[in-house]
Amino acid sequence: MKGETVQRDSSSSTRSGTIRSLATAVILFLFLPLAFGTTFFLLQTGAPPVARIPSNIAWTSETMARASGGDAFHGMLLARRCDHCHGAEGFSPLASTPNLAGIDRPSIWKQLQDFRTQKRISPVMQPIASSLSERDVADVAAYYSMLPDFPDPQDNRSFPQSAPEAAHVALASRLVSTGDGERGIPPCQACHGPVAYRTGAPALSTQNSDYILRQLEKFANNSRSNDINMPMRTVAGLLTEEEKHALAEYYGSGLGLLPAGATAPR
């Protein structure tokens, strides 16, 4: 009798064991992908400020339309909040703050979007960009893109900065006009103009030296990582310290305004 009971028990426990492991398999099969999916989703949306994907912006006809559809007049009114840092005419009094005059709409628009979403980290610009509505962002982009980049001795802009030494001019102009094929560095002017513009690559020809230097350093050490397909993290990572300084001085002194190749050593 005893033996029978034990037998019955053990066989029923084997059966329920089988059912349990089947159930576990079904649960794993059904819920693991879900769990992974959720984790992945959280990683994407709840990502800490250090960007896992470079930018929430991808260049499509839809984002291009949003970036280009702003009202420059309304942008002009909003820009009064930006004047004391970026200058009344879009040229900053500080060489460490970017000039915005004449920068194309998509570039300005994308940077403001990236500040808002903290894909580009700036304790100064993040709250300012977040205070603008979606429409405001397009409007200020329209306004700054229309400001002329010719000199005005009346305002206190810091551009252009003083000319670099000849050796630095030679070093920079070679990188700007031809790059360095051996190290896989494409010419800057192939993306930043004047030869060609990559969408979202701002013109550098009227940009300030200290600002350019800081950005190259940030791309090189990954503290700025909002470049889609990472052209800048790659390029900046390949440049030497001396080259970064030479390039920043080159653009900051206005040499980038000269016809392509005019400053390159023969």
Nearest C-alpha neighbor of 134 from the set 65, 46, 183, 76:
65
Q: What is the dihedral of CA 17, 19, 22, 24, to 10 degrees?
A: -70
3-class DSSP state for residue 197?
strand
Nearer residue to ligand HEC within complex by CB, 9 or 231:
231
Amino acid letter at 160? P
Q: How many CB atoms lie within 10 A of CB 24?
A: 10
Take residue 188 and report the two structure tokens written for it. 């800057």
- Least spacing, CB of residue 46 vs ligand HEC, in Å: 23
3-class DSSP state for residue 1?
coil
Nearer residue to ligand HEC within complex by CB, 21 or 119:
119
Nearer residue to ligand HEC within complex by CB, 35 or 165:
165
- Least spacing, CB of residue 35 vs ligand HEC, in Å: 34
- Rounded Cα gap, residues 126 and 119, in angstroms: 10
Nearer residue to ligand HEC within complex by CB, 78 or 163:
78
Nearer residue to ligand HEC within complex by CB, 17 or 184:
184
- Least spacing, CB of residue 79 vs ligand HEC, in Å: 6
Amino acid letter at 78? L
Positions touching ligand HEC (CB under 6 A) are 78, 81-82, 85-86, 97-98, 100, 108, 110-112, 122, 124-125, 128, 132, 140, 175, 185-186, 188, 190-192, 198, 200-202, 204, 212, 214-216, 226-228, 231-232, 235, 247
The dihedrals phi and psi of 101, each to the nearest 5 degrees, come to -60, 130
- Least spacing, CB of residue 219 vs ligand HEC, in Å: 7
- Least spacing, CB of residue 68 vs ligand HEC, in Å: 15
